[in-house]
Amino acid sequence: MIGYTLATVLKNKQADGKLAGVKIGRACIKKNISVKKVAEIAGVTKITVYAWFAGDYSPRPETAKKIQNYIDRH
């Protein structure tokens, strides 16, 4: 959990675990992959990534796959 605020972790835990962005968030929190890195991979802002992690929005399927591939390698 190093690098993630308690608020971010709680929002992610309370969000619908079926959503792609929430799943990605949980994996990133577990593996300590930074929001900045996810934003770079996806070509979006950090604010967008935080919204995905909280379940407010979901990444496009091709973007989610790209991020998941990175998570799987790390």
Report domain extents, the chain: 6-73
- Would the pTM count as exceeding 0.85? yes
CATH C-level class of 6-73: mainly alpha
Q: What is the mean pLDDT of residues 44-69?
A: 97
| pLDDT value, residue 11 | 97
C-alpha to C-alpha distances, 46 to 36, 38, 41, nearest whole angstrom: 6, 8, 11
| pLDDT value, residue 16 | 97
Nearest CA among 43, 34, 36 for reference residue 64: 43
pLDDT in tens, 5-44: 999 999 999 999 999 999 999 999 999 999 999 999 999 9
Predicted confidence band of residue 2 (pLDDT cuts 50, 70, 90): low
